[in-house]
Every structure is written in structure tokens, then in C-alpha cells.
Amino acid sequence: MKKNLSVLVALLMSVSINAQVQTPERDNTPSGGYGGPVFKVGTFNGKTGLLSGGRGAWILNHQVAIGGGSYSLSSDIKLDKLSSNENPLYMNLSYQGFEIEYIHNSEKMVNWTVHTMIGGGSVRLLEHNPDVSIDKDMISIIEPGINIDINVCNWFRIGIGASYRIASGLDMTELSNFDINGFAGTVILKFGRF
């Protein structure tokens, strides 16, 4: 009986030790990629608005992602100082560009990333009913940011972070670059091979 008990204890200990030694395997593929939707909440002309869009990137050596993104205002930003009760004016913003991202400790359950987007887009002033464009101008955008990524599974991550939008080149009497600049809270859903 003692011999059987000793063998059983030794067997259980070896299984337990083996389970503790095993760590998640890292994919040794030198490159991968991801894509997914992005949602940003920020201020535009002093009002809170939602930008929605997407980002995709090619990942090199599990550390550097090179790709692009495109974003557009999903919410109406009313320009109170320019609006009358009969014809309210709204601002619309859309931009896209090249994005580069550094990924720190990609294999960890929680990691951080630093990214920058360089691109351009347009700002439009609109009247609703129907959407009539009153004015439009092109802008340049630089948007650095930082995210905390949570590895939900090997093909899906959720990123939560912040960015700061810096606009230049806006030439409208109604709006300035300052009205476009601002912080944004960001949520990204990444699907791919990391």
C-alpha cells in the first residue's frame, strides 16, 4: 500500500512540476499582421465627438507594425457661433494616413504600444436637410498615441489608450487648426497574427 501511495505521489508531483515549467510558446514566424475597427472619443471645436474607422498593419519581428488607418467623425459637431435656428452648421472631419507602431513585449498577456499616424484629410462645414457642403478645406494630421493591449487569445487583442491629434493647414474663417487639435481616448479591436 505504501509503495502504491509513493508511486502515486511521485506521479502527481511530476505532472505538477511539468505543468509549472511549461510557458506559452511564442510564434517564431518573423512577420504577421492585424486589422480591425478603431473608436476614438475626443473634443472638436470644444465639443465631444466620436471618430470611427479602422487600422491595419504588417508586423515585423513581433515588435514593429507598419500600416495605415482611416477615421471619420461619426457624431454631429454643431458650430453654435455660426448657426442660426433655421440653418444650423455642422463640422465633419475625416482623415487617413500612414501609421507606424512599436509593440513592447508582444508575447505578454498585457503589453504596451506607441504609435504615430502621419496623413491628411478634410474638414467640411455642412447644413443638414439635405447635407449641403458650405465650405471644405484639406488638412495635414500628425497623431501620436500610446495603448495598453490585452491579449484575449492568440488571434485577438483589445487596445485601450490615448492619442493627441495635431492639425495644420486649415484655412477657414469659421475654424482653425486649434479647433481640430485635441486628445482622444481610443479603443481598438485587433484581429490577426501577432
Q: What are the pLDDT digits (tens) for 116-143?
A: 999 999 999 988 766 778 889 999 999 9
Residue with the bigger pLDDT between 127 and 161: it is 161
- Whether the per-residue pLDDT at 1 is higher than 60: the answer is no
- Whether the per-residue pLDDT at 63 is higher than 80: the answer is yes
- Whether the per-residue pLDDT at 5 is higher than 70: the answer is no
How do 47-60 and 31-44 pair as beta strands?
A: antiparallel
| Alpha carbon distance 169, 90 (integer Å) | 20
Mean pLDDT, range 166-190, rounded to an integer: 95
Which pLDDT belongs to residue 174? Answer: 84
Around 183, how many Cα atoms within 13 Å sit in the side-chain half-sphere?
4
Mean pLDDT, range 55-70, rounded to an integer: 98
Do residues 121 and 143 make contact, with C-beta atoms less than 8 angstroms apart?
no
- Whether the per-residue pLDDT at 9 is higher than 90: the answer is no
Q: For domain 30-193, give its CATH number from 2.40.160.20, 3.90.420.10, 3.30.230.70, 1.20.1050.140.
A: 2.40.160.20
Do residues 106 and 62 make contact, with C-beta atoms less than 8 angstroms apart?
yes
Residue with the bigger pLDDT between 128 and 65: it is 65
Which pLDDT belongs to residue 23? Answer: 40
